Structure 1
Amino acid sequence: MTNEPIDLRAVLTTFDELWSPRIAARINDYDVRVTHVKGSYIWHVHDTTDEFFLVLDGQLSIAVRDPEERVVSLPAGSVFVVPRGVYHRPFSDGGAQIVVIDPAGTPTTGDSHDPLPDHIQTHTGISI
């Protein structure tokens, strides 16, 4: 990591894969991840950690089961925290650029998830 400012928009120009976050920074034991999203992710859950979402550009929706299923809509500039233990499924019809903050080493597909389609890989973020 660097001790210089990081331009998140510049990091986003270095890749175009969807749902494949890059680790832009680390704060204590947390990764600050940026990624492009479009279409639908999978239902998944993080049993022991909350998950922070910030929309930089576009619109992100997150379906949550807490306990009833509902959809949270996030325009650019919005944040939302999915509490630990809550199944959720991010999606974006038009595409978005987002920041996700998770403890370092947290799998992108959570501790439990639906079957993975070809366009989604489990990993813990890719260092820039």
Structure 2
Amino acid sequence: MQEKHEGNGSFTNELIRSSLSLVDFEQRMIYLQLKYPGIREIAAQRHHSPLKISKRFTNSDLMEVIASLSAVGFFCQQDDSPATFIQITREFETLCNTSFKNPDNCRWAVLNRKNRLTHFLDTLRGTLVELSQK
């Protein structure tokens, strides 16, 4: 019975030490937040671009570009590994201040069009040809 009581006391002491350690940690966190008030905002900030998609165009038009660039492997990561379709999409979302609810479905819709498969890309091409002839 004595051993059980001593073991129980040791366990209780360990719980108290752990609790005090957590309280100490919380105090240090509060101190750091008081010392550096903007520290929580830095991590939560999402960068916004001053750009947005013109009213003449849609997210589907943008997806034509994203899907094409992704398919040809236009973008890569810092270690030269290929960027994923989702990574590229997220960067364009930030650049254009827009979002795709389901990027994979949007890409699928663009790739499976029956009419005007590459309407926006054709518009870009036509504009380049026109500019080059001026």
Same fold (TM over 0.5): no
> Which of 1 and 2 has higher RCO (CA within 8 Å, sep 6+)?
1
Instruction: Report the structure number with the largest CA radius of gyration.
Output: 2
Name the TM-score, length of structure 2 as normaliser.
0.22
Name the TM-score, length of structure 1 as normaliser.
0.23
Q: Comparing both structures, which one devotes a greater share of its residues to helix?
A: 2
